[in-house]
Amino acid sequence: KNEVEQSPQNLTAQEGEFITINCSYSVGISALHWLQQHPGGGIVSLFMLSSGKKKHGRLIATINIQEKHSSLHITASHPRDSAVYICAVSTVDSNYQLIWGAGTKLIIKP
């Protein structure tokens, strides 16, 4: 079993829909990261969080430390949100290693 699990693997939605991507982990973490990878391959860091909730524009990330679960929400989704969204965790044991989820491929249709 992977230490970081994302769901769903693939998600197709219509423009305007509310999107939720989930991430569960089984290790002790110091922080959880949400990243976005566009078709060209470059990765952009969206959020780094260790508790609670963060919001940036139409993106919201939440984390529940007790349940070892995080969600990334996109409100009023748009075709430009189409990308792979990746969850990764910084672990308590390893200062510099990230453990990566396999990613969620999101397609927003106009």
Q: Find all residues with CB under 8 Å of 81, minimum gap 6, and list them.
A: 19, 58, 74, 106, 108
Q: Which of 110, 23, 7, 105 is nearest to 65 (CA)?
A: 23
| 80 three-state secondary structure | helix
Per-residue string for binding with another protein, 33-62, x by CB under 8 A?
A: x-x----xxxxxx--x--------------
Q: Which is nearer to another protein, 35 or 108 (CB)?
A: 35
d(CA 18, CA 24): 20
Q: Which is nearer to another protein, 8 or 16 (CB)?
A: 8
| 69 three-state secondary structure | strand
Q: Does 31 bind another protein (CB under 8 A)?
A: yes
Other beta carbons within 10 Å of 32:
24
Using CB under 8 A as the binding criterion, the count of chain residues that bind another protein stands at 22
CB of 57 to another protein, least distance (A): 17
Q: Which is nearer to another protein, 32 or 77 (CB)?
A: 32
Q: Does 107 bind another protein (CB under 8 A)?
A: no
Chain residues in the site for another protein (CB under 8 A): 4, 31, 33, 35, 40-45, 48, 86, 88, 90, 95-98, 100-103
